[in-house]
Structure 1
C-alpha cells in the first residue's frame, strides 16, 4: 500500500482558460454572474475528478478563486474596506471591485494594491484592515465548495491562507504595517477556530492552512505572533461531535529557524518544501526530529517547474525523511497553480522533447509513481520500469552545448560590465541631445492589443494572409499610434509593440535555445494569463528582433521614439529555465544576445532604449543572507552587460513592477540605467522615501495611474499624484508615465487616461515655471 499523497493546490483557470473567458465575458456584459458561477462549478468538479482519477488521496478544495486567494481570505474574515462595502455589490462584484477597481453607477473606487506572491509571477491583492474593521466569519465559500465536492462523492482537504501569512501580508489603510494588537489576533484566530469547527460538522478529515511566510527571515515578535494565533486555533480541532486534522503547509523555502517551535506545537501534519527548501528542511528534521502524532508531508514534486521529476532524487529525499519518522506523506512542494494545466494538445513538441516535461496533470501521475516507488524495497525499485524509464531522462544527453556561446562567455572582461562615462555626465549629455522638457511624459511601451491585432496575427499564423500583408497592417497600426501620441502631446513616443504576442515569448522566438507551447497558460493575476517559453539549450540571438519596427516608428516622427526590449533577468524569470545549468549562466547568455540587439538599435538611430527588468525583484531569495551571493551578484552585472557598450548620449531606461523595491534600492541604482519607471500607483510611495535616503542617481518615473484597472483617472487625480512625487523627488529627475504597459487595456480607457496624464504634467510644469 502506497504512502498517502497530497496536492497543495491545483490550477483554477481550466484546461482552456474557461474561467478567464467566463469572467471577462461577464465584465464586458456578454454573460451574467450565473454563467460565471456555473463555469466555476464545472471547473471544480472537473479538477477534483482529474485528481481522484490520478489516485490523489488528499484533494484540495477552496483552492479555487474567481480572482485571488488572499482576496477571498479577506472577504472570509470580513476585511472589506468601507469604500467597497458602500458600493452595495454582490460578493463576486465586490471581489472584482477590490481586485480591479470600480467606476460606475454605484461609485468610483481604485483597486487594492497588488504585489508578487513571494518569488512567483503570481500577483496577490494586499488586504487592507481599517481601524473600524470588525473581523468575523463573513463568507461561506470554503464550506460551500467542500459540500459541493462531498455531493460528488469526494471528501476533500479544504485549503485556506493561514492567519499568520494573512496578517503579515495585510496592511493598514495608508499601507502601513499592522499593529498586531491582542484584539486583532484574537478576532482572526477566532474566525479560523470557527472554520475548523464547521469543517468538523461537515465531515472534513483534514484542513490545510498555508503559511508560506514562515520561510522568510523572522523579525522580533514573529514567532510569538504565530504561537498566539495557533494556540487559540489548535483546540478547535476537537469538539463534542468529532475532530479534524490540521496540516500546516509551508513552501517556497525552508523553516529551519522555526521548525523546532512548529514540531513542538502538535500539528497533525507539517508540509515541507523539499525542492526549494531542501537543505534547510532536512537539517531541521535531522536536528529536531518529529513529534509523536505529526505526519511530515514531504514536498518532492516541484510545483514551480515544467521538467519531469527526477525519481531517484525524490526517493533519496523521502528516504532521508523516513529515517527520521515513520509518519510520512508524499506531496507537491507547493501549489500547482504556478504551472500549466496539461501537456494534452501540445503536439507541436516532438515526443523526444515532450517526454521531458510535466505540467499539473502530469505531476499528479508523478506524485503517484513516486509514492509507489517509496514503498518498495531496493530490489523492487531496481526492477521498476517506471524508475528505469524516468532515469533515462537524466543521462546528460538531452542537449549539446553551443561552443560559440561558450567562447563569448569565457571572453568576458570586467570592463564589459561597466558603462562610461559616469551616469551624472551621461545624464547631462542626454538632456542636451534629447531636448526634453521638465517632467517628460512617456508610456511603458505597449498599446492595446485590440481584437483586430490579435485576429491579424491569427490569420498570419493560419496562412490566410502573407507576411507582406501582415507587415502592412502592423505599419498602419504604428502610424496610427504615433500620430495619436503626437496629438495628445506625449514627449517620448513608443511604437506600440503590435507585432509582439508577449514581451518574453516574442523575444524567445528570435533567439536560439527556446521552445514554445500552444496552450501552457499560467495565471498571473485575476484573469491575466501568461504562456512562458522554455529555455531548452544555450541561448544566442538568431536574428535582429526589434530593429525594423523601432526604426520605422522613428522615421515617422520628429519626436524621440523609445526602443523596447526585455532584459535578461526578466527573460529568464518569465521563462521556464533549464535545470541542468545555473541561472547565472543562462542569464549571461541572454545578456549577450540582448546586448547585440541594443547595439543594433543604436546603430539604426534609436536614441532612447528601454530594457525592461519587470521581474528583477521577483526571484530575489526569500532569505536576506542569500540575496547577493545567490542572486544580485550576478543579476545586476548581467543587466549592465546589456547596455555597457552604448554611446553616452543614448539614454537607457528600465522598468519594474509590482514588487517591494525599498530594500534593494541601492542595487537597482547599481544597474546603472539612466531612467527607471516602476509601479507606484497602488502603493503609498514609500519607495520614494527609500530613493531619497539612498541618494538615488537614476532618474525615475513612478507610475501615476494604475493600468490594471479599467478606471479612467481624472487630470486632477494625476496632478495630485505628481505633486506627492515632487514632495519626495527633485523635479529634474522625475518622469511622468503610467505604471505598466497598456497591452491589456481597451482603447476607450487608454487614450483618455493618457490625455489626462499629459494635461496634468503640463499643468504642474506651468506651476513650477511660475514658482521659479
Structure 2
C-alpha cells in the first residue's frame, strides 16, 4: 500500500495567528504562556489536517517560532557564543534576541533559503562552539502529537546542510572542521527521538541539489554511517532541484529512504526508479510545494502507478518540498465583490490549490493507487476541469503583448550612453554632496494607513477622501525627510500594501488573493500575487503619487518601482510558458512606467531587484541562461531613461560575490545593498571586482528594532571606504522602513545623516562641496 506524507506545513496559520501572537509578545501585550498556547493550537490543527486528508504520517519539527535553522541551533545548544546565553536553558526571549537583536546585541545575519523568498538565520561557526544539547521544544512537540494519536515523522535540517549554510566567524579553517562535534549533537537528538518511539526522521539535505565539491560529497557516507546505529529510520530529503548526479552516493548511504523533488526535476526519477533498493522507501514529491496550481492528478498517476506495482508500501507520495512556501487554505479565499478589493473569482479559484488542498490531493493520489481511480472520482474530475479551463480560457493570452515582446531588439536593452557619460550628466543635474544620503523607499506603515486602505477597499472611504489621506501621509514623510536633511527623498509609499502586490493589482494578467499569505521571515508575511496570463500595463501606476511628492520639495524625489525579476520571483507564476517570457512582459510594462515618470519630471527612478539572486538555479551550470535573460529584463525596463535620469536599484539579504559581473551588467547608475548584518563583508566582493558604478552599502539593519549609534555607522562606512572609492559611495539603510515605527526610524535616520556629515568633514576640501570632482 502506497503511503503519503509532506516534508512540512506552514506555521503561520490560515489567519496569520502566529504572526499576530509573535508581535503581541514582542510588544508586551501578551505573555509567553499565551504565545505558547497559540503555537500549540496551530500545531494541533495542522496535524489534524494531515490526518484527515489521509496522510500516514504527521510531520513534527516543521514548526518554528522564527526560523527552523535557528530552532535546530537551539535544539543542539549551538546558539552563537557571542550572545553569551545559556544554550541549555535558552528562553524564548533569548531566542528572539538571536533573531531580531536587542539593545546590546546585533541580530544574527539573515539570507535567502536557496532560491525561495524565505529567509533563514545564518549559523555562526566558531572554534569554541559546543553541541551538547539545548532546549527540549522538539521533544515536547513529539509528545503532543503522540498524545493526539498521530503517527509521527520528525523533520530536521541535516547536519551537512546546517554546516554548509553557516559562516565561519573565528578559529576554523573549514566548516567541516566542526563536523565531529555537530555529529555528537545529532547523535544525541536522534537517539532520544528513537527512545521516545519515533519511527521515522526526515533529515533534510537540500545541499545535495547543489554542485558540491569533493570534500563535501565525501563527508556524506561517514556522517550517515555514524548516525545509522542510533537513529530511527532516516528519510534523506532533497528538494528544489535534482540529485541524479548523486545517485550512486545515495545508494551507498545507510538510510531507510530518500525523497526526490519531481516537480522541479521530473527527469531525475529515471536515475532511481529501476535500481533503488526494494527494501528502502522511495518518496516522490509529485505535488508542487512552491506554486498554487492544481495538480494534474492523471499525469501523476501515469508516473507513479507502474512504480506502485513494483514497490508497494515502499512508495511514498509527498509534496515536492515543505508547504511553508504556499498559502494555507483556499477555503479562506472570498470571491471578489468589489472592483477595488482583493479576491479570486470563481474561474481563477478553480485553478488553485493552497496548502490544505494539496494535502487533499496527496490523499486522493494515495487512495487512487491503493483503491483505484473510481474511489476518488470527484477529485479527478476537479483536476481535469481545472486543466481544461486553463487551456481554453481567453483571459490568459494577449496577442498585442506577444507581438510587442517578439519585436524587441538588442538595442532596446541599452541606455543611450555608457555610465561614465551618464554619471557626469547626473552630477551636473543634481549637484549632490559627498556621501549622498537616501532611503530604500518605504516609510512606516502605521495602523492609520492600513485602516484607511482597508476602508477604501470596503467602500467605507470614498476615492477623494482616500486620495487626501494618502497625500497627507506623503506630505508628512517628505517634511520629516527634509527635517532630517536627507539628500534624496522618497514619497514613503503609504498607498502600497506590498512592493509586488501593489503593481500586481494594476497590471493585467495578475490576480490578487485576499488571504494567500506566506511567511517570509519571523512574523513577516507576504501575499504573492498570481501571474495567470500575459502581463500588460493599462495605465500609469505610480506617476501621480511621485509627481505630487516632488511638488512638495526642491530636493530630488525618487520614483519607486519593483523590477521585473522580483515581480516574477515574488509571485506565483504561470507554468504554461517559460519564466523568461513572463519576465520580459513585465519588463515592458515597467519600461512604459519609467518613460512616464521621466515625462512627469522625476529624474531619479529606483527599480528594485531584491530577488535577482534568488532566481538563480541551484546548479551553477544552469546560471548563465538565467542570468542572461534576467539582466536583459532589467535593462529593458530601465533603458527608456535619458542619460541625466539616474536609475537606482536595490538588492538585499543575498550573497552577490559570485554573480558580480552580471550585477554590473545590469548597469544601474546606483545600487544599494544590504551589508550591515554581515558587517560589510558582502561589500568586499564589490571592491575586489572593482564594481564600476555608484553603490550604497546599508549602514543599519532595519529588521531589528535596535537603533544604531552614529559611531557604529561611521565604523561601517570607513570599512566601506577601504574597498569603494568615497566619490562613489551613497549612504542608506539596509532595506525599506515599512515594518519599523516612526520614532525609531527618525532617530536612526538622523544618526545616519549625522554620520555622513562627520565623514564629509574628513574628506579633502575639494570633495566636500557639491561641485566636487568625481573620478
TM over 0.5: yes
2:56/2:151 contact within 8 Å kept:
no
Matched, 1:463 2:456: no
Q: Which residue of 1 aligns with 2:619?
A: 623
Q: Superposed, which structure 2 residues align to 1:219-368 within 5 Å?
A: 219-237=213-231, 244-279=232-267, 281-286=268-273, 289-319=275-305, 321-322=307-308, 325-326=311-312, 327-348=314-335, 349-368=344-363
Which has the larger displacement, 81-90 or 682-691?
A: 81-90
User: Deviation of residue 316 (structure 1)?
Assistant: 3.1
Matched, 1:27 2:44: no
Secondary structure at the counterpart of residue 610 of structure 1:
strand
User: Deviation of residue 317 (structure 1)?
Assistant: 3.0
User: Structure 1, residues 88-130: CA drift from partner, whole Å, max 9, x if none?
Assistant: 9952111111111011xxxx10100001000110000001122
User: Deviation of residue 269 (structure 1)?
Assistant: 1.3
User: Structure 1, residues 278-327: CA drift from partner, whole Å, max 9, x if none?
Assistant: 22x2232157x212421100110110000000112222332465587552
Q: Superposed, which structure 2 residues align to 1:360-379 within 5 Å?
A: 360-375=355-370
Matched, 1:115 2:111: yes
1:175/1:684 contact within 8 Å kept:
no
Q: Superposed, which structure 2 residues align to 1:17-416 within 5 Å?
A: 17-86=16-85, 91-103=91-103, 108-173=104-169, 178-181=174-177, 184-237=178-231, 244-279=232-267, 281-286=268-273, 289-319=275-305, 321-322=307-308, 325-326=311-312, 327-348=314-335, 349-375=344-370, 380=373, 384-395=377-388, 396-398=391-393, 399-416=395-412
In 2 relative to 1, CA 609–383 (structure 1 residues): closer, same or farther, beyond 3 Å? closer
User: Deviation of residue 400 (structure 1)?
Assistant: 4.1
Q: Within 2, Cα distance between the matches of 1:228 and 1:115? A: 29
Secondary structure at the counterpart of residue 257 of structure 1:
helix
1:119/1:619 contact within 8 Å kept:
yes
Q: Within 1, Cα distance between the matches of 2:44 and 2:381? A: 35
In 2 relative to 1, CA 382–520 (structure 1 residues): closer, same or farther, beyond 3 Å? closer
Normalising to structure 2: TM-score of the pair?
Answer: 0.95
Q: Within 1, Cα distance between the matches of 2:24 and 2:591? A: 41
Secondary structure at the counterpart of residue 248 of structure 1:
strand
2:131/2:184 contact within 8 Å kept:
no
In 2 relative to 1, CA 86–140 (structure 1 residues): closer, same or farther, beyond 3 Å? closer
Matched, 1:694 2:682: no
Q: Within 2, Cα distance between the matches of 1:73 and 1:203? A: 20
Q: Within 2, Cα distance between the matches of 1:65 and 1:400? A: 38
Q: Within 2, Cα distance between the matches of 1:419 and 1:678? A: 22
Which has the larger displacement, 323-332 or 94-103?
A: 323-332
Which has the larger displacement, 594-603 or 398-407?
A: 398-407
User: Deviation of residue 684 (structure 1)?
Assistant: 4.0
1:122/1:524 contact within 8 Å kept:
yes
In 2 relative to 1, CA 321–110 (structure 1 residues): closer, same or farther, beyond 3 Å? farther
Aligned residue pairs total 754
Q: Superposed, which structure 2 residues align to 1:576-725 within 5 Å?
A: 576-629=572-625, 631-725=626-720
Unaligned stretches of 5+ residues in structure 2: 336-343, 768-775
Q: Within 2, Cα distance between the matches of 1:148 and 1:334? A: 24
Q: Which residue of 2 aligns with 1:549?
A: 545
2:368/2:376 contact within 8 Å kept:
no
Q: Within 2, Cα distance between the matches of 1:656 and 1:174? A: 27
Q: Which residue of 1 aligns with 2:338?
A: none
Secondary structure at the counterpart of residue 611 of structure 1:
strand
Q: Within 2, Cα distance between the matches of 1:320 and 1:719? A: 65
2:326/2:354 contact within 8 Å kept:
yes
1:599/1:646 contact within 8 Å kept:
yes
Q: Within 2, Cα distance between the matches of 1:432 and 1:717? A: 32
Q: Within 2, Cα distance between the matches of 1:605 and 1:142? A: 57
User: Deviation of residue 87 (structure 1)?
Assistant: 8.7
User: Deviation of residue 266 (structure 1)?
Assistant: 2.8
Q: Within 2, Cα distance between the matches of 1:522 and 1:176? A: 37
1:146/1:155 contact within 8 Å kept:
no
CA root-mean-square deviation: 1.9
Unaligned stretches of 5+ residues in structure 1: 238-243
User: Deviation of residue 179 (structure 1)?
Assistant: 3.5
2:59/2:154 contact within 8 Å kept:
yes
Secondary structure at the counterpart of residue 493 of structure 1:
coil
Q: Within 2, Cα distance between the matches of 1:477 and 1:146? A: 49
User: Structure 1, residues 602-631: CA drift from partner, whole Å, max 9, x if none?
Assistant: 0000010000011111110000000112x1
User: Deviation of residue 147 (structure 1)?
Assistant: 0.3
User: Structure 1, residues 4-56: CA drift from partner, whole Å, max 9, x if none?
Assistant: 00111000111111111111001111011111011111111111111111111
Which has the larger displacement, 689-698 or 154-163?
A: 689-698
1:175/1:683 contact within 8 Å kept:
no
User: Deviation of residue 213 (structure 1)?
Assistant: 1.1
